[in-house]
Chains A and B, each alone.
Chain A
Amino acid sequence: MLEVKDIVKQYAKHRALDRVSFQINEGSIFGLLGPNGAGKTSLIRIINQITAPDSGEITLKGETLSQRHISKIGYLPEERGLYKKMMIGEQLLYLAQLKGLSKTDAIARIKIWFEKMDMQTWWDKKVEDLSKGMQQKVQFVATVIHEPELIILDEPFSGFDPVNVDIIKNEIIDLNRKGATIIFSTHRMESVEELCDSIVLIDKSKKILDGKVSEIKNRFRNNHYVIKYNGTIPLINPEANNLFRIVSLRSQENETKATIEILEHHRINEVLGYLITQVEIKELVEIVPSIHDIFVKQVKENY
């Protein structure tokens, strides 16, 4: 749906984005990841046409981005902001109209969202009279009020309590199910694992990783397994047969938890076949690297 091709953004002496390319599939929830200062905000601003790239191109459904796409994109910036003295209703109406909605449409949709988010009585309230969490809700509604096809959320959960995080998360999933493509920029890796289909990792202005979450995780599997068994006898590698390496071994009461790395050219079944003769196995789990681990590893390597 969205294709980012060879984007370069240069500020005076600092190159914010260096030939960044990736694709976002229609209907996916896409994670835009990277450490602070990597260039995420620059990229988001380019997609929103707030700034323009020095070279490269972004296409939405095959068309080069232009002013007419503005009404198809919804953007929730990391730094939230609303007019403090303006009433919530008027404010949402104004923002919706700026996105190209007619007044009657905008009012109807605001009412629907007010009901959905349990804020029916808020129309005449001023932003400055709301708590931070309530302001965030208003901001979220402002982002999606015009039913955009592409929704860009920069740290959407910051400032919400756990109850509201769930409400917003469910709304995001719901919007996605109804067909919206979502770009999700966050530092909370657990929500990336929970929500995202695909990710791109940007560091130091360059793309260092992208693809489907499952594929990336597969790529970063390193043949580590956790084995739990009864008894406290240590595992022994068969002599002259370098089947596995013991990474760690810890016994507690009458149970032992071992982490092993299966060595090259061997498979888990061989190891299992050997171990069964030694100990009574209770549990065997492969350690799949989390997005968090992959993020940290990649960024460190890129240092």
Chain B
Amino acid sequence: MDKIFLIIKREYVSRVKKKSFLVVTFLVPLLFIAMWGGIIALSIQDTTSKSTINVLDDSGQIFSELQNTGSISFSEATGSSSMEKNNLQSSESSYLLIIPKNILENQNVELLSSQKASVFVIDVIRDQVENILREKQLRNAGIDLATLESIEPHLKITALEITEEGGEQESNAGIAMGIGMFSSIMIYLTLFIYGSQVMRGVIEEKNNRVVEIIISSVKPFQLMLGKIVGIGLVGLTQFLLWIVLSAALFTAAGLYVSNQMPDTFSAEEISNLQSSVPSASMAQSGLLGDIQGSIESLDVSYLITCFLIFFIGGYLLYSALFAAVGSAVDNETETQQFMLPITMPLLFTYVMSFGVLVKDPHGPLAFWLSMIPFTSPIAMMVRVPFGVPGWELVLSIVLLVGGFILTTWVAARIYRVGILMYGKKASYKELAKWFTYKK
């Protein structure tokens, strides 16, 4: 037993001490932050360029009611439409808005520009013109605007789900969906990253021929298991550091943003951010409280526990297979043919989790995918945020444990023969033969 511990220690320490481990550990949370900040920065930048819009108002009813905003200014066109069109070509970020005489009837305007019109500009024009038209039409129909506004209802739907204890719990399908997809990406990526580290480790030992010395001291199974556990612990360490670092960074970034918010963001810019960055809109519209409420109802520690269980289970299951593949080849380029059957179930579930599982987390496909050990780590983590009955969770975990015991057993039988075979191109037939060797 203490020999396995020695192997685990070596695998763990030699990887954690590497520079690349530190780089990845610190870079990934920074990357997340940078992406988040980048989205905000981009959407702000898009709105800060100034545009002028020449309005050729044939109806004579609209222009007077258009209002300049921080980044868009309206001016009345003086010339004829052909003259204005010529002027357009010379200057950037200027537009010509042609409003026909019968605007109230056909509700169609033309927006001309020398370049593709910015979506932002189009939105502003649509909003303003629509409002103007609505007001005019309402007035024409004899409806009092003040009365209309006062009776406009504002409905908020609170989706409640009945928990097993019989109580009611606030649920938010959007957040669950987000967390489900995030978990599925994380599990998919990490299974591959750490699985292939196991494979590379095995190939390295085989190539170095150091494996023959090691297995004259320990059993091949001990070596394989030690490697798998050691690298798995590296993965868990990395998760832990990511969680801690991300939490720290997000808190810091959140504080910074909320301090800067009132000064640098005009109300209009924030309202424009609503479409692209939900977090910014929350702060402004007062929805924040609602969302926070639903995050709290999600029980983060339960989610993290599930994530870790399914990561560990999936990792043990797949890394054993990765180890077997590593033992069967002489170098990494030969791994291709054996990788396909390992990648397929993962890729399939990954794709399914976006297309089907998040939309129908309690359907039959979701159920079966979250029971089969090869697909359950991803499929179950998509479902967990939506709430999964306890018995399904337990059954899935039991099957997963059974699954990795099976794959580890099969892999170990191939591994112990494979690591001593050199210069022999292995086929599936060969692997099956190795599997049946006595020892």
Contacts and interface: CB of A to CB of B under 8 A. Distances in A.
Nearest to B10: A94
Given A77-B209, A83-B210, A49 B433 contact: no
B6 A97 contact: yes
B433 A12 contact: yes
Contacts of A51: 420, 439
A98 B214 contact: yes
Interface string A56-91: 000000000000001001010101111111100000
Contact of B213 (A11, A54, A75): A75
A50 B209 contact: no
A50 B215 CA distance: 6
B211 interface: yes
Interface residues of B, number: 23
Contacts of B433: 12
A52 B215 contact: no
Nearest to B14: A86
A224 interface: no
A48 B214 CA distance: 11
A98 B212 CA distance: 13
A142 interface: yes
B216 interface: yes
A142 B213 contact: yes
Q: Interface residues of B: mostly helix, strand, loop or mixed?
A: helix
Nearest to B6: A97
A45 interface: yes
A95 interface: yes
Nearest to A70: B217
Interface in B412-439: 420, 422, 433, 437-439
B209 A80 contact: yes
A99 interface: yes
B301 interface: no
Contact of A79 (B205, B212, B439): B212
Contact of A81 (B3, B10, B213, B438): B213
A98 B208 contact: no
Residue from the set B6, B215, B216 with the largest chain A CB neighbour count within 10 Å: B216
Interface in B215-240: 215-218
Contacts of A82: 208, 210
A49 B218 CA distance: 9
A77 B213 contact: yes
Contacts of A81: 205, 208-213
Interface in B58-106: none
B260 to A, nearest CB: 46
Contacts of A99: 217
Interface string B182-225: 00000000000000000000000100111111111110000000
Interface size band for A: 20 to 34
Contacts of A77: 209, 212-213, 216
A11 B420 CA distance: 13
A12 B10 CA distance: 35
Contact of A50 (B6, B212, B437, B438): B212
A81 B210 CA distance: 4
Interface in B1-42: 3, 6-7, 10, 14
A25 B7 CA distance: 35
A95 B211 CA distance: 11
A77 B433 CA distance: 25
Contacts of B208: 81-84
Nearest to B223: A98
Interface string A1-33: 000000000011000000000000000000000
Nearest to A103: B6
A82 B218 CA distance: 16
Interface string A112-145: 0000000000000000000000000000001000
A174 to B, nearest CB: 22
A54 B7 CA distance: 29
A97 B212 CA distance: 16
A289 B106 CA distance: 116
> Which of the listed residues A50, A51, A85 has the most CB atoms from chain B within 10 Å of its own CB?
A50
B438 A49 contact: no
A94 B212 contact: no
A11 B434 CA distance: 9
B213 A50 contact: no
B269 to A, nearest CB: 52
Nearest to B211: A81
Contacts of B216: 48-50, 70, 73, 75, 77
A86 B214 CA distance: 15
Interface in B359-383: none
Contacts of A48: 216
Nearest to A83: B210
Interface centre among B6, B14, B212 (most CB of A within 10 A): B212
Most chain A CB atoms below 10 A, which of B3, B215, B217, B420: B217
Contacts of A45: 420
Contacts of B437: 11
A98 B6 contact: yes
B2 to A, nearest CB: 9
Contact of B209 (A79, A86, A94, A95): A79
B424 to A, nearest CB: 11
Interface of B: 3, 6-7, 10, 14, 205, 208-218, 420, 422, 433, 437-439
11 contacts: A48-B216, A50-B212, A50-B215, A51-B439, A54-B438, A77-B216, A79-B422, A81-B209, A83-B208, A98-B218, A99-B217
Given A54-B438, A77-B212, 5 more contacts: A70-B216, A73-B216, A79-B209, A81-B208, A95-B217
Q: Which 4 A-B pairs have the closest CB atoms?
A: A81-B209, A52-B439, A81-B210, A98-B217
Interface of A: 11-12, 45, 48-52, 54, 70, 73, 75, 77, 79-86, 94-95, 97-99, 142
